[in-house]
Every structure is written in structure tokens, then in C-alpha cells.
């Protein structure tokens, strides 16, 4: 379907055409740019068009309807229209003022000329129309020019009777003069009042514009400051940026940031621009009580034109020496908590800070307090994260490292890093001597502490161990107390000292000593983390001690197991004289072969135990069969082949020997599956059993027996090689051959 175009009535089209035509006829000159002047120019052009069209229309009707054969008034109308056309053309140019003046005077002259040519019109009140030029002039002329026009009209009215004999002075005074005079007075009053209103409105607009510009400048400054401060995560850099922005915003040579310390209940000068760092450092703290008194008197944001008139201000003498004068002060607060203060200061000249400047300083203080709070929160969060990472590293060291010295070194590395101290030492408690002995240290320039040996209660470290609590010396220069090696420590420049007991399950394991080369004022979080690190160190010491004790016990138990198994093996050799020494030989050779297959230490231990107990099952074989000198019968072989089963039944209930069962239970299995007791085949046979099977046959054939002499090594090795793939694992045979050849 085609698009339907809505129909437009002829009336609407005519109206639109007339509007476009009227807009074109009254369009001001492009050179007139101000909106008010363009509106006045359009109004004047439209008024002139209406006058020309109206004059032509009225004159045309007059010519058609008047019954005067010699009427020539239309010539005056044509002349007037031509003059108005010239003025209209002038109004379309940039000469708006000239056009308005011409319009006013032409209208005034036209009224006088018409009245002069037609005196009868005066009696009809035609001269009263002189108010129209005045009204028109009030739109385009100033008050002085309007008064001039009024004077011209009044003079014209007074002179008019002397020029026109048909009109008397009384006719003018009673009629048009009194009307024009009164209306002129009223027009002057109204125009003056209008001008005053316009002036007031313009003043308000200018003031509002200035205020808007000031607010925009303040907002722009705050946005710039916000963007810069939010980009700072380091507190020192942030404070420097705050000072620079205060100096820039208030155009002062000096700015100062002070931070509030809750512990000391005072403001401390932190950073300044325009002052030397030494001068800032030498400024005394600003007590909170004095701050409260000052803000009560002046407010939290105030300006002083000359601070030297207020000698009670803190650091007055110091500031006076620098010839500091005017100050602008603002409190930094965040959620009703005082953070610090901002101060802008002039040098050598007094100054009254404006309300806008104080508002700007207040905004800067709000942004600065937020940025400082965020930076502190970021610093705290990062510090806590580092603390967690340090504790994690210590936990890993405790669980994965059994070397006490290495573990203590890791502890001290984390302790000095996280607590931000210069040196630390760990003293370990020797429970047999009941003394604290040197464990390890970090950050010392001398080795004096390596020879430390303290009784419980001796020195600060001994006192910490005795009292089970942290002891602290804030300043060793004035309070060394009973610190051992105090002179050597003072020589290293240490000032602050802490000693924390290493306590685990209520038992002291040692003492952690902390040293710092400047005053170290702790807070609760720092002290709590010190206790945590001391606790971790105690756990590390206890864990290592427990592991060493357990390892020592395990070694002793392993030796006991080994001795017991060797005893059993020796008992078997005593029962079967034919195989005496066989067990020790096959055990040693099996271990050599097992090492070739890269068995670990625990696997080698189980190989040793399995080899020593490989014939333990023969304890279940009757002596008449085991010690029989002649060949065994088929029934006797059935019983003899049960000895691996007897070994399994004997050793299975013993938990620590279960991993060693493979050799006693499976060493008579064969690679091709023809062995006993279970007929296992190939890799179903445990590796250690396959190793031992070869070693067992080797030792049996190379040893003398009552019923035959020992075979040579070459013959025995050939026999074993011939059994590869049938009796023995071919890979094991190959490596065993290499082992025998090398030995």
C-alpha cells in the first residue's frame, strides 16, 4: 500500500504562506546578533509595514468615499509612505537606532503636518495622536532622549497656534497640550520605573551569572581535586597533593595539613607547601582542647585577616618569625569523626578571605578527609592481607619444613617485614638446663646475641618467659632496665624493644625479641599481630620438637622391629642347618637388585624384612619333612609347598609387617604361572617377589648342600637365563645378570 499523505486545507496553506512572508519581511539584519535587538528590529519593521499598509488602505478608502473634487491629500499619504519605506529599509540593516529615531520624528512631523494642512482636525483631537511617537520612542530610546522628544512636541504644540490662524492657543492648551503633557509625565515615570526594574534585573542576572561562574569554578576545582586525590593510594603523596591543591585554589604561598592523633588527643603537622620540612617537623602539636575552643569561637571553617592579632594560636612565635599573616582554616571530618585540618596562609600581607573561598576550602577539606580515610582503609586492608599472607607462609613452612633452623629463619623474615622492625632474635628454651639459648637472629650488625644464655626470670627476655606476657621498653636510651647486653645493643643504635614469650599449650618454648632503631609506638592491632606471630613461632618450635621426638621414637621402633625380625630369621637358620647364612646372603643381594629398580627407602625396608622372613612359613612344616635327608614324597611336597601360605597366615595379623608379605607369600610363583601357592602369572606376581625369586635360586645353587656341591657362578647364571620367560621375569633376569657381571 502506498503512503497516505494527509490533506492540508487551503486556509492552513494560506496561513503558512502568510507566516513565511511576514517572517521574511520582518527578518532583522544578520549583523544584529543580540536577541533583544533582533526582537526590537523585527517589531519596528513590522510596525512600519503596518503603518504603510494601514495608511495606503485608509487613503484608498478616503479617495473612494470622499466627495471633494479637488482633494490632494493622497499625495501627502504617498509621500509619507515613501518616507516610511526608506525608514523600513533602514530598519532591515544594522542601523536600528537610526531607524527608530527617524520613525519617531517622522510620525511626529506627520501629525503636525496633517494638523497644519487640516486645521479642523485639531478640534477633533488629532494632535492627541502625538502620544504615539512618545510611546514608540519609549520602546527604542532612553529616558533622556524621550524627554527631548517630549520637549520638542510641547514646543511644537505651543508654537502651532501662531503658525495656523484657524487654531487658537486655548484650543491647544485645553486639548492636546494638557493631554500630551500629562501623558508625557506619566510616560516618564513609567519609563524611569521600567528602566530601574530592567537595571535591577540586569544586576541580578549579572550577580547570578557571577555566582554561577564562581560555583562552576568551585565545582571544577573540586572535581579536579577529587580526580587527583582518588588516584593517590600512598598517604604521604596524598597529603602533598592536598597541600598543592589548597595553595592553587586559594592562591596562597603556604598551605598546611595537620592530622589528628586520637592517642595523643592532638593535631600534628604532617605536610606543608611553602615551608621547609624541618620547620614543619619542629611545630608543636595542636591540643584538641585548644581546637575545640577555637572552633567554638570562629566555627569549623573560618578566616582571620591577620593571625598576629591572635597570640594564643599554637606555634604563634614560630609562625610570626615567618611573617605569616592571614589564614583560612577548615576542619577535615568524615562521618562526624575528626580527621585533621587544612590551613591556607599568606606571607607578609593581611587578607580577607571571601565566603566563596571559604566554601571552596570547606569542599577541599571534605574531599581530603574522604581521600585520607580511603587511603588509610586501603593501607589497613593491604597490611591485613600481607599479614594473612605472612601467616600462610609460616603455616606452609611449619607443615612442609622439618628443619628448625630454616623454619626459624623464615619466621624472622616475616616478623621483621610485617612488623616493620629493624632486628629480631628467637631464644629457645632448653628444658633440661631451664635456660633460654640463642636460636637465630636477623638484622644485627654484631654477633653478640649468639652467645646468649638466660635463666628464666633473668633479663627482659627471661621476665617475659616467666610472666607469660609481652614486656616493652619504649626508649632504651633513658630506660635500659635489666636488658642483657644493653651496651652492645645501644651501640647498634636500637631504641625500642619488645619481648614476647613463645607459648604453646600453656608451655613456654622460647622468647621472641624485637629491636628497632627509632621509637616504636604500637597500636592494638600491631601488638595483636606480634602475639599471633609469637604464637606461630611457638607452634613451629613445638611442631619441630614433636616431629623430632616422633622421628626418634620411630627410628627406635624400627630398630626394634628389625632386631626382632633378624632374631626370627636367625631362629630359622638354627632349625635348618642346611640353609644357615642363606637368609643374610639373599637379603643383601635382594637389596642390591631392588636399588637397581629405584625403590625408595621405605620400599627397601620392606624388601629387607620380606627377605629375612621369606621362609618363616617353614616353621609350620614338621621336622620330619623339613629335616628329611632324602627326597620328599609327593605327599610331603604338598605339605612343603604350603609354607608360603603359613607365612601369610602368620604375618597378616601383624600390621607393620603386612607391606613385607609379598616376598614370603609369592617368592615361589613363576612367570609362566606354574608356581605356587596361587599360580600367579607374569606381572600379577609382585615385583619384589620376582626379584627375590631369582636371588633365592641363585643363592641355593651357588651354596653347598648335603646332597650336592655348589654350582659355579657361570653355570648358575646360565640356568637362570634359561628360565627367563618361564620361571623368571625376563627383565629382572637381564638386570640381575648385569649386577652379577659387574660384581
Q: Which of 446-450, 466-470, 606-610 has the lowest mean pLDDT?
A: 446-450
Give pLDDT, residue 398: 66
345-393 confidence digits (pLDDT tens)? 998 888 898 888 888 889 889 888 988 888 888 887 787 777 777 777 7
Q: Write the CATH number of the domain with boundaries 401-550.
A: 3.30.450.40
Distances 195 to 133, 138, 214, 293 between C-alpha atoms, Å: 19, 10, 28, 52
**484, pLDDT greater than 70:** no
Give pLDDT, residue 333: 92
pLDDT band at 101 (very low <50, low <70, confident <90, very high): confident
State the helix-helix crossing angle for 730-742 and 687-701, rounded to 10 degrees: 50
Segment 509-518 mean pLDDT: 88
Homologous superfamily, domain 576-742: Hypothetical protein af1432 (1.10.3210.10)
Q: Which of 314-318, 486-490, 633-637 has the lowest mean pLDDT?
A: 486-490
219-275 confidence digits (pLDDT tens)? 777 777 778 777 777 888 888 888 988 888 888 999 999 999 888 899 999 999 998
Paired strand residues for 442: 424
Domain positions in the chain: 10-201, 232-382, 401-550, 576-742
Give pLDDT, residue 71: 65
Give pLDDT, residue 672: 93
pLDDT band at 619 (very low <50, low <70, confident <90, very high): confident
DSSP letter for each residue of 405-466: HHHHHHHHHHHHHHTT-SEEEEEEEETTTTEEEEEEEES-SS-GGGG-EEETTSHHHHHHHH
Q: What is the mean pLDDT of the chain?
A: 82
115, burial (CB in 10 Å: exposed 0-12, middle 13-18, buried 19+)? buried
- Taking the model in full, what pTM does it have? 0.50
pLDDT band at 1 (very low <50, low <70, confident <90, very high): very low
Cell 629405584 identifies what position? 598
Gap between the Cα atoms of 464 and 449, Å rounded: 17
Structural Rg of the chain based on CA atoms = 58
Name residues whose C-beta falls within 8 Å of residue 413's C-beta, 6 or more positions apart in sequence: 442
552-603 confidence digits (pLDDT tens)? 777 777 777 667 777 676 666 665 555 567 888 888 999 999 999 999 998 9
Homologous superfamily, domain 232-382: GAF domain (3.30.450.40)
Same CATH topology for 232-382 and 401-550: the answer is yes
**697, pLDDT greater than 70:** yes
pLDDT band at 727 (very low <50, low <70, confident <90, very high): very high
674-683 confidence digits (pLDDT tens)? 999 999 999 9
546 and 398 Cβ atoms separated by less than 8 Å:
no
642-694 confidence digits (pLDDT tens)? 989 988 888 888 887 888 899 999 999 999 999 999 999 999 999 999 999 99
Residue 179 Cα to chain centre, angstroms = 81
Amino acid at each position: 500500500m502506498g503512503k497516505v499523505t494527509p490533506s492540508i486545507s487551503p486556509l492552513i496553506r494560506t496561513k503558512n504562506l502568510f507566516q513565511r512572508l511576514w517572517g521574511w519581511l520582518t527578518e532583522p539584519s544578520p549583523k544584529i546578533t543580540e536577541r533583544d535587538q533582533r526582537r526590537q528590529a523585527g517589531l519596528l519593521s513590522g510596525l512600519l509595514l503596518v503603518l504603510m499598509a494601514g495608511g495606503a488602505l485608509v487613503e484608498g478608502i478616503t479617495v473612494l468615499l470622499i466627495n471633494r473634487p479637488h482633494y490632494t491629500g493622497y499625495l501627502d499619504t504617498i509621500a509619507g509612505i515613501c518616507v516610511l519605506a526608506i525608514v523600513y529599509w533602514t530598519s532591515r540593516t544594522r542601523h536600528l537606532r537610526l531607524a527608530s529615531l527617524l520613525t519617531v520624528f517622522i510620525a511626529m512631523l506627520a501629525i503636525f503636518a496633517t494638523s497644519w494642512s487640516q486645521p479642523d482636525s485639531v478640534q477633533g483631537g488629532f494632535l492627541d495622536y502625538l502620544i504615539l511617537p512618545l510611546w514608540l520612542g519609549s520602546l527604542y530610546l532612553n529616558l533622556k532622549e524621550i524627554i527631548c522628544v517630549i520637549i520638542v512636541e510641547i514646543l511644537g504644540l505651543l508654537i502651532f497656534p501662531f503658525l495656523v490662524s484657524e487654531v487658537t492657543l486655548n484650543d491647544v492648551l485645553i486639548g492636546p497640550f494638557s493631554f500630551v503633557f500629562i501623558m508625557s509625565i506619566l510616560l516618564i515615570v513609567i519609563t524611569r520605573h521600567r528602566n530601574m526594574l530592567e537595571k535591577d534585573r540586569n544586576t541580578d542576572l549579572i550577580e547570578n551569572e557571577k555566582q554561577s561562574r564562581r560555583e562552576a569554578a568551585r565545582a571544577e576545582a573540586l572535581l579536579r581535586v577529587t580526580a587527583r586525590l582518588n588516584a593517590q593510594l600512598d598517604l604521604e603523596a596524598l597529603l602533598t597533593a592536598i597541600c598543592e591543591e589548597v595553595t592553587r585554589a586559594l592562591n596562597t604561598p603556604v598551605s598546611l595539613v595537620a592530622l589528628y592523633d586520637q592517642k595523643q588527643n592532638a593535631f600534628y603537622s604532617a605536610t606543608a607547601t611553602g615551608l621547609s620540612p624541618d620547620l614543619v617537623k619542629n611545630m608543636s602539636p595542636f591540643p584538641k582542647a585548644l581546637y575545640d575552643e577555637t572552633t567554638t569561637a570562629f566555627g569549623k571553617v573560618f578566616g582571620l585577616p591577620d593571625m598576629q592579632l591572635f597570640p594564643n594560636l599554637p606555634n604563634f612565635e614560630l609562625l610570626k618569625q615567618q611573617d605569616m599573616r592571614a589564614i583560612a582554616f577548615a576542619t577535615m571530618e568524615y562521618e562526624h569523626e575528626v580527621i585533621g585540618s587544612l590551613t591556607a596562609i599568606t606571607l607578609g600581607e593581611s587578607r580577607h578571605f571571601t565566603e566563596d573561598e571559604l566554601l571552596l576550602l570547606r569542599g577541599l577539606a571534605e574531599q581530603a578527609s574522604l581521600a585520607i580515610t580511603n587511603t588509610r582503609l586501603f593501607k589497613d586492608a593491604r597490611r591485613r592481607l600481607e599479614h594473612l599472607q605472612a601467616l600462610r607462609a609460616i603455616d606452609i613452612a611449619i607443615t612442609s619444613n622439618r628443619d628448625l633452623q630454616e623454619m626459624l629463619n623464615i619466621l624472622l623474615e616475616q616478623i621483621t617485614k610485617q612488623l616493620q622492625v629493624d632486628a629480631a632474635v628467637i631464644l629457645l628454651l632448653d628444658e633440661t638446663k631451664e635456660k633460654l639459648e640463642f636460636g637465630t637472629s636477623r638484622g644485627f650488625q654484631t654477633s653478640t646475641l649468639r652467645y646468649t644464655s638466660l635463666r628464666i626470670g633473668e633479663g627482659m627476655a627471661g621476665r617475659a618467659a616467666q610472666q607469660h606476657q609481652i614486656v616493652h621498653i619504649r626508649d632504651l636510651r633513658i630506660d635500659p632496665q635489666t636488658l642483657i647486653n644493653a651496651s652492645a645493643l645501644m651501640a647498634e643504635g636500637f631504641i625500642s624493644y619488645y619481648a614476647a614469650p613463645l607459648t604453646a599449650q600453656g608451655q613456654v618454648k622460647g622468647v621472641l625479641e624485637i629491636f628497632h632503631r627509632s621509637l616504636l609506638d604500637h597500636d592494638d592491632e600491631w601488638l595483636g599481630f606480634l602475639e599471633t606471630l609469637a604464637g606461630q613461632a611457638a607452634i613451629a618450635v613445638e611442631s619441630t620438637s614433636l616431629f623430632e621426638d616422633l622421628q626418634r621414637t620411630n627410628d627406635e621402633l624400627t630398630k626394634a622391629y628389625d632386631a626382632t625380625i633378624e632374631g626370627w630369621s636367625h631362629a630359622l637358620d638354627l632349625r635348618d642347618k642346611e640353609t644357615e647364612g642363606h637368609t643374610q646372603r639373599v637379603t643383601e643381594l635382594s637389596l642390591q637388585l631392588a636399588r637397581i629398580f629405584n625403590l625408595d627407602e621405605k620400599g627397601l625396608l620392606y624388601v629387607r624384612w620380606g627377605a629375612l622372613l621369606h621362609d618363616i612359613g617353614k616353621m609350620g612344616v614338621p621336622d620330619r619333612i623339613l629335616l628329611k635327608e632324602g627326597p620328599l614324597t609327593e605327599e610331603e611336597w604338598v605339605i612343603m609347598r604350603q609354607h608360603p601360605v603359613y607365612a601369610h597366615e602368620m604375618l597378616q595379623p601383624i600390621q607393620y609387617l603386612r607391606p613385607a608379605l609379598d616376598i614370603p607369600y609369592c617368592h615361589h610363583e613363576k612367570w609362566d604361572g606354574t608356581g605356587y601357592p596361587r599360580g600367579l602369572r607374569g606381572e600379577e606376581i609382585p615385583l619384589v617377589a620376582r626379584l627375590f625369586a631369582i636371588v633365592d635360586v641363585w643363592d641355593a645353587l651357588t651354596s653347598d648342600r648335603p646332597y650336592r656341591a655348589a654350582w659355579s657362578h657361570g653355570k648358575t647364571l646360565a640356568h637362570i637365563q634359561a628360565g627367563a620367560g618361564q620361571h623368571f621375569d625376563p627383565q629382572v633376569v637381564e638386570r640381575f645378570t648385569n649386577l652379577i657381571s659387574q660384581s
